[in-house]
Amino acid sequence: MASSRNPIAGQAAIVGIGHTVQGELPGRSVEENAVDAALLALADAGLSVDDLDGLIGCKSVQGQGNDVTVGQLLGRNLPYVQSLDYGTCNFSLHLAVMAIVSGLASTILLTYGANARTAKFDFGKPMYGADMASAAGLVHISGRAGLALQRHKALYGTTDEQFGMLAVGQRQWAQKNPNAIFRTPMTMADYLAEPYMVEPLRRSDVTMISDGGVAVVVTTAERARNLPQQPVYVSGIAEHAGVRGEHNPENLMRPWLKDSAKAIWSTTGLTPADMDAVYIQDPTAVWSLQMLEYYGFCGLGEGGPFLAEGHTLPGGDLPLNTHGGQLSESYTWGWMHMVEAVRQLRGQAGERQLADPKVALYASSHGFLKAAASVLSTEESVAA
Amino acid sequence: MSGDLSPVDDPVAGPFFAGILEGRFTAQRCNSCEALRWPPLSGCPDCHSRSTTWVEVAPTGTIWSFVVYHRAFQASLKEEIPYTVAMVELDDGPYVVGRLVPGDKPPAVGDRVVAELGEFGGVPSVRWRTA
C-alpha cells in the first residue's frame, strides 16, 4: 500500500528474470550477452519484446551496453529508455520503479552484459585517471578495500579467521548452486593457507571476473497479478551518495552507507530482524563486512564475531548471498544477487531454497561513491 | 612507474608536483574558508570558492591504514612486489596516500611517519618512512 512515507511500496514488481551461462563467452559482445539474457527474462515473465515500453541499460565496466546500444539490438522504439553507470543494478531497479510510479512506463526491461573476462579488461588500470595513489601502486579494488579491512582489524580486532567466514560461507552456498563458477569445497584451513594477494586480502576475498548477461523485467503490481510467476514486489527503496569521495573523512570506510541504511529502515518501517535473507553486492568481502554492520545486522565493529557465529552460512538465521555472490558464483556486479533474491522469494532456488522466505534486503554500492538498498517481498504490503 | 599510472600532467595537481621538485610538501588551502584539501580539486567542496593557495604542510602524520601488495596489477610494478602502500592522516588534517618504505619492524596502524620528498619511479611524490 502506498503511503506518504513510502509512496512506491508495492506498486511495482519483478516479474521476469533471465541470465546467460556465467563464465567464458568468447567472441560475444556486452550487448549480445545482455540481449540473450533479456529474451530469457521476457520468456520467464510470459511477455514478448512488444509488451515493453521501457528499457534501462546498465553499462559494463568498459562503458558498453547502454540503452541505445542494447536498444538497437532489441529493435523497438520505446517511450522510455535510460542508461546507468557500471555497478548500478540496484539504482537501475529504483529507476524502473520511479518510471512506473510516475507513469513514464509500465513494463520495463533492465539489462546488464559483461565480457570483461574474455575481453581481458585491465582492472589494474586506474578507473578515474592517474593520480598520486596509482603512482604509488595503489591500483585495483583490492588495494582500497584492503586499506579499509586493515583499519577495521586495527580498530576492532577483527581476525583473518572471522573475516574468512565470508569467503568460506559464500563457497558453501555456491556448492548448492549449479550456476556458480567456483564450487570446489574450501575449508577455513584452505582459506587461511591461501597466500595474501594484497594483504590483508586473499584471492578468495575478491570477485572473480566472468562473462555473462543478466536481465530483469519490472512492471506494475496490477499487471504482475496476471503474469505466470509469483510477483516479487519492491517494498522500499533508499539511496545515499558519498560523492565528496576522498574529501569525506575516512572515505574508505564508506560512512555514508549508514545513511542509506537509515533511510531504508525508516522508509519501510522494517528492521534487520524482519529480513529472511540478505543480498550484498560484493566485489570484495569487505563490502559485505561493512554493510552487515551499517545496515544493523550487527553492531559497528562487531562484524568479525558476528560472522564467526555462522549466522550467514547455510542453515544460519541470516542467509547471505545464497547463490555464492561475486566471490563464488559469478561477476555481474550485483545483478545475479537480484536474480537470486527473486528465485528464493518465488521458491525456485532448488537445493539451496530457504524455508518460505517472504522478505529480503538487497544492498549495494557503487564503489566509493554511492549506496543503494531495496526491500523485496512476496507481499504487496509488508507489515512491520 | 610511468605511463598509465603517472599523474604529473594533471593541471589541477601540477603545482603539487612542482612543489615536490623544489623540496616543498604542499596542499591546497581555500582562500575563502581556509579549508586544507587533499587530493587537489579545482574548487572548494565546502564553500565553492575557486581561489586557492598552495601552502606548505607539515610532512608528518600517522598511518591510518596500509596494505602490502604481493601481486603486480601493472607490468611496471612487477619488480617492486612486495611493496607497501599507506594511507596517512597528516598532522595538518588531510589524508595522503603513498608508498611506505619498510622499517625495522612491520608497520602498524597508528605508527608515526615522516614524508620523504623526491622522484620515485619517475613521478615526483612523497613516500613515507616510520619516524
CB contact under 8 A, B65 and A147: yes
ipTM of the complex in this document: 0.95
Q: Is A147 on the interface with B (CB under 8 A)?
A: yes
Distance CA B122, CA B86 (A): 19
Q: How far is residue A228's CA from residue B86's CA, in Å, rounded to a whole number?
A: 54
State mean pLDDT over A207-225.
97
pLDDT digits (tens, 9 = 90+) for A125-157: 887 677 888 889 999 999 999 999 999 999 999
Helix A257-268 to helix A285-294 angle (10° resolution) is 50
Grid coordinates representing A266 are: 525508516
Q: What distance in Å separates the CA atoms of residue A241 and residue A149, rounded to the nearest whole number?
A: 21
Question: What percent of chain B is helix, strand and coil (3-state, nearest 5)?
Answer: 15, 40, 45
Substitution target from B5, B90, B119 for chain A, most A beta carbons within 10 A:
B5
Burial of A350 (0-12, 13-18, 19+ CB in 10 A): exposed
Question: B10 and A130: CB-CB below 8 Å?
Answer: yes
Q: What is the pLDDT of residue A3?
A: 60
Closest CA–CA distance from residue A193 to any residue of chain B (Å): 15
- Give whole-number Cα distances, A264 to A101, A114, A125, A277, B35, in Å: 18, 29, 34, 15, 33
What is the reported pLDDT for A247?
92
With CA atoms as reference, the chain B residue closest to A126 would be: B5
Q: Which residues pair with A56 in a beta bridge?
A: A82, A110
For the cut 80, the answer to whether the pLDDT of residue A374 exceeds it is yes
pLDDT for residue B31 is more than 70? yes
Q: Is B117 an 8 Å CB contact of chain A?
A: no
pLDDT at A384: 61
* CB within 8 Å: A154 and B110: yes
Asked if the C-beta of A135 comes within 8 angstroms of chain B's C-beta atoms, the answer is yes
Cα–Cα distance between A367 and A283 in angstroms, integer? Answer: 9
pTM: 0.96
Q: Is B3's pLDDT higher than 60? A: no
The answer to whether B71 contacts chain A (CB < 8 Å) is yes
Is the minimum CB–CB distance between A196 and chain B shorter than 8 Å? yes
In this complex, the residue of A126, A130, A147 whose CB is nearest that of residue B67 is A147
In this predicted structure, which of A31-35, A200-204, A380-384, B92-96 has the lowest mean pLDDT? A380-384
Mean pLDDT on A292-317: 98
Across all residues in chain A, what is the average pLDDT?
96
CB pairs under 8 A between A and B: 113
B18 close to A (CB below 8 A): no
Best of A120, A122, A131, A132 to substitute, by most chain B Cβ atoms within 10 angstroms, is A132
The confidence score (pLDDT) of residue A130 equals 74
CB A74: neighbour CB atoms within 10 A? Answer: 22
- pLDDT value for A383: 67
Contacts of B22 (CB under 8 A, 6+ apart): none
